[in-house]
Chains A and B, each alone.
Chain A
Amino acid sequence: GAGVSQSPRYKVTKRGQDVALRCDPISGHVSLYWYRQALGQGPEFLTYFNYEAQQDKSGLPNDRFSAERPEGSISTLTIQRTEQRDSAMYRCASSITPPGSSSYEQYFGPGTRLTVT
């Protein structure tokens, strides 16, 4: 496919369970970003990668959240011991930017809607 894909599209989980959300960026894109969007709110930055290196994780809410991109392409956002307040749409985006470049366009995936019951 030509765009950013995410899986699963919908995830319902019980409180206390771990979840893993996957992002498959556009092939060749260097930068990958994770965002969270609660219902009725704007997007909130979580973390981003250039290649496999996590550049900034200051937006991750707490240590239950982690992300990896081990081979510089697919990324996984993991939430351990989920809580109801984690319920949100989790989106990723990718851009072609080489590190240090200011010229880029972000392409967003469709998101994973996580519901914690």
Chain B
Amino acid sequence: KNEVEQSPQNLTAQEGEFITINCSYSVGISALHWLQQHPGGGIVSLFMLSSGKKKHGRLIATINIQEKHSSLHITASHPRDSAVYICAVRSDRDDKIIFGKGTRLHILP
């Protein structure tokens, strides 16, 4: 079993829909990242969380440390949100970064 699991693996939705991507992890962490990888390959760090909730524009990220779970939400989705969204955690034991396999999101116009 992977230490970081994301669901769903693939998601296709219509423009305007509310999107939720989930990340569960099994290790102790000091922080969790949500990353966005564009079709061209570039990686952008969206959020870094160690507790609670963060919002940036139409993106919201939450984390529940007790349940070892985080969610990334996209409100009013748009075709330009189409990308791979990757959850990554930083182990609190050895500082290693562990990546999930990513969720491929495709928003249809």
Contact = CB atoms under 8 A, between A and B. Distances in A.
Nearest to A45: B97
Contacts of A43: 43, 86, 88, 99
Contacts of B41: 89, 111
Given A33-B97, A110-B42, A42 B102 contact: yes
Q: Which of B44, B45, B86, B95 has the most CB of A within 10 A?
A: B95
A44 B95 contact: no
Interface of B is mostly: strand
Interface residues of A, number: 23
Given A42-B102, A102-B30, A108 B96 contact: no
Contacts of A108: 35, 42-45
Contacts of B98: 45
Q: Which of A43, A44, A55, A107 has the most CB of B within 10 A?
A: A43
Interface residues of B, number: 25
B31 A91 contact: no
Contacts of B43: 43, 91, 108
B31 A104 contact: yes
Contact of B48 (A45, A89, A104): A104
B84 to A, nearest CB: 8
Nearest to A105: B48
Interface of B: 30-31, 33, 35, 41-45, 48, 50, 84, 86, 88, 90, 92, 94-102
